[in-house]
Amino acid sequence: MSTCCINPSILSADFVNLEAELKRISNADAVHVDVMDNHFVPNLTLGLPVVERIQAVSPVPLDAHLMIADADRWAPAYADAGVASVTFHAEAAIAPIKLARELRARGAKAGMALRPATPVEPYLDMLSELDMLLIMTVEPGFGGQSFLDVTLPKIRRARAAIDGSGIGVALQVDGGITEETILRAAEAGANVFVAGSAVYGQEDPAAAIERLREAGIGAYARR
């Protein structure tokens, strides 16, 4: 795992020209695909059929973030579709360990996300069941929100637990990531960064990815 992975969110891309938008971020580590059902979060984006088409044309692996209710039922289908990494919300899963194992059994990396107010401590014992832990740095549901600094202590606690466990779990943050906020998130211990407008809001998304990556690597090294 790189010390700084940049996963642009297509929530900020031009949905009419998604294939072209994906080509603009071919230097990314993965493309972050936000799946919202208008139940778990108050927004509706795209579902499995569109994700399958994105999977077919994307030059980089898919990092699917499922902001959906009843994750135990629906998440495995995304692994079956060939998505590289599938992240479900702890708040939406009845049996998170079982679900994580099922995702892995179907060939995907298993990720688990926590909303800003959800404590990380109850889930630290299941780190060995995960490939990635996602700490939301905004309330899930909408792009363009400001980074919540109140989540930084939780990121630090999660990093300390991961390092103490000796397990190579990636620590992802999602929400309000810019060239400025990535410094604080990386210094707190995050090493995978979801960026929407900070990439797709720039004239050259590929160059924006490189700037974010360089900033993140430097900040992570200063921990």
Active site residues: 34, 174
Cα 223 from Cα 216, distance rounded (Å): 11
Neighbours of 15 (CB within 10 A): 11
Cα 129 from Cα 141, distance rounded (Å): 26
In the chain, how long is the greatest CA-to-CA distance? 45
List of long-range contacts for 205-214, beta carbons under 8 Å, 24+ apart: 205/8, 205/24, 205/25, 206/24, 206/25, 206/26, 206/27, 209/6, 209/8, 209/25, 209/27, 209/28, 210/27, 211/179, 212/4, 212/6, 212/177, 212/179, 212/182, 213/4, 213/6
